[in-house]
Amino acid sequence: MLDETDSRLLAAVQADARITAEDLGARLNLSASQAARRRARLEAEGVIAGYSARLSPERLGLAVQAFVSVQMAAHAPETAAAFLRLIATLPEVTACWTLTGEADYLLRVWCADLPALNDLIHHRLLPNPAVARVQSQIVMAQPKPDSGLPV
């Protein structure tokens, strides 16, 4: 069970994962050691699942973000497993969701340019026998950046 202080702690850690116990304590009106213990408890309970760095796609030469919908040719468990093994080998695919509806999977991809996106779709996804159809949508702008979960 999370209390209001836990929620405020989680919001602070989502905004800045490198926040010190001292700064966290000051935000929460707790001592640094109390804030550190709360954070450690939330980590141990799995509420805080991990920490990561947000990288700049532009600074890494990744100019094209797209969402790629994939419709499977068959829905056997081994077909899905083979497709997911393929996805795991593609560094351009930064997220993968299974969906209800027409598409079976939604992939978030980052590529250097449109030819790289074309190569990903036409030379790596479509040749896979598990894949029946692929549809891509190129991101023009992202007015709301990725944000944390509502806490």
Cα 37 from Cα 52, distance rounded (Å): 21
Look at residue 107 and give its three-state secondary structure: strand
- What residue ranges do the domains of the chain occupy? 4-44, 58-138
Across all residues in the chain, what is the average pLDDT?
96
| Predicted local confidence at residue 4, as pLDDT | 97
Q: In this structure, which topology does domain 4-44 adopt according to CATH?
A: Arc Repressor Mutant, subunit A (1.10.10)
pLDDT in tens, 57-84: 999 999 999 999 999 998 899 999 999 9
> Does the domain formed by 58-138 have CATH 3.40.50.300?
no
Task: Evaluate if pTM is beyond 0.85.
Answer: yes
pLDDT in tens, 93-120: 999 999 999 999 999 999 999 999 999 9
DSSP assignment string, 111-133: ESSHHHHHHIIIIIITTSTTEEE
The domains spanning 4-44 and 58-138 adopt the same CATH topology: no
